Amino acid sequence: MTTPRVDAGVAPTDAQIAAADAAPGFMPADEAMALYDVARQYLSKDDAVGIGVEIGTYCGKSTVYLGAAAQPLGATVVTIDHHRGSEEHQPGWEYHDTALVDPHTGTLDTSARFRRTMFDAGLEETVIGMLTRSTTAARVWGRPADFVFIDGGHSSEAAQDDLAAWSPWVRLGGALLIHDVFPDPADGGRPPFEIYEKALASGDFTEVGVHGSLRVLERIR
């Protein structure tokens, strides 16, 4: 099952696609467009509240597609990240990028690169960046969201915490989006697949779309 295009005549601008392409990140182009379509679908429903949430910003590659969907609708995307990187971004790991290390602290800091991406994409008035851990942000959050996109830390603890903290905020009829879901362990890590299974097992969500490793679950109760 693949997620259909909401409106084949609507797409991110060339400048937005260029900004996303230039940003460091790990979202394949076809999954990014599927993310755009799904965000636009749920933000434009008659009962939409006009807010989408992204857990895991990094440098804003996927955020561009979410913001591009929200912008013409007058909706808002809130993207949450501590900007110190996940486990795989740390020194000695496969995805460590020395260009993103802050010389003052000696640690990874992707916040400035994220702001550059939003500037280049023309999305500074559409996207709100929260610089904190997702579980900390959840403690002060207080309203339903049309979608929550989980693409943060891929350790078991981080993934489970993101699901527990943020899935309750998906409004009835809204969507829980989970990235890097691989049923075959040979294809990728298990935590995103495990929270995908947990969300379905709760009975609160049903699967309505699949595109690559992106899963779209709609809240039904």
Q: Which of 82, 154, 179, 211 is catalytic?
A: 154
Give per-residue pLDDT as tens, 77-114. Answer: 999 999 987 666 556 556 667 777 778 787 789 999 99
Catalytic residue flag (residue 154) = yes
Q: Is the pLDDT at 6 greater than 50, yes or no?
A: no
Residue 98's pLDDT is what?
75
Please state the pTM of the whole predicted model: 0.91
Residue 90's pLDDT is what?
54
Q: Is 54 exposed, middle or buried (0-12, 13-18, 19+ CB in 10 A)?
A: buried
Residue extents of the structural domains in the chain: 14-219
Looking at per-residue confidence, does 104 or 125 come out higher? 125
Give per-residue pLDDT as tens, 137-152. Answer: 999 999 999 999 999 9
Give per-residue pLDDT as tens, 8-24. Answer: 458 999 999 999 999 99
Architecture label for domain 14-219: 3-Layer(aba) Sandwich (3.40)
Q: Is the pLDDT at 2 greater than 50, yes or no?
A: no
